Structure 1
């Protein structure tokens, strides 16, 4: 389903005086996929960096290493995890938005088809003037 009204329903939509919900659900879906990939890359990079940081801390000692360990714990355990979680929340939000847009467009199409068919029936019965 696209971001424009289906051609066979354009006339029926014009009778209503409302606008088509012109949101591209496919674009929202692509955003969801992109953020999901990004979240995976962030998490993978965090895990790789954890391995490297663990090796650095294992091979060194002293106040600088202790300070680094505390700093890295914040970066990895808090900041990068927060980026991952935020990305996953965006995945959920874009997925939900995609579903809602598609549902709204499907519902609108159904209503417009009903209107179009009703008008065609009334015209065929002579109860409305022809176009």
Structure 2
């Protein structure tokens, strides 16, 4: 039974590594991520450690703008729903507590915003 909350960088690494292992094997979103990350998974994971460390632990190790690299991805709401399903199930399988809940809220907000912006830019290009 899961009894602990996200508390430190090791927990962030466990969350990120477990989540992206699921992503890489997923039939729907795995091919998109694997093609985009070709040979750069370690670099991406390091960036995700810093991102979530900054968001959840308030240890400011990430700087950057997360949206631009995602702008041209061939994704839609179905892909973001699957991403959230995998993320939520990963968090729930590993952690329980305030920061675990915060991670899911932040991920949902990010998925919504990314999908909205991708659709917005896609619609601009198609006018």
TM-score (norm 2): 0.35
So what's the TM-score if we normalise by structure 1? Answer: 0.34
More helix by share: 1
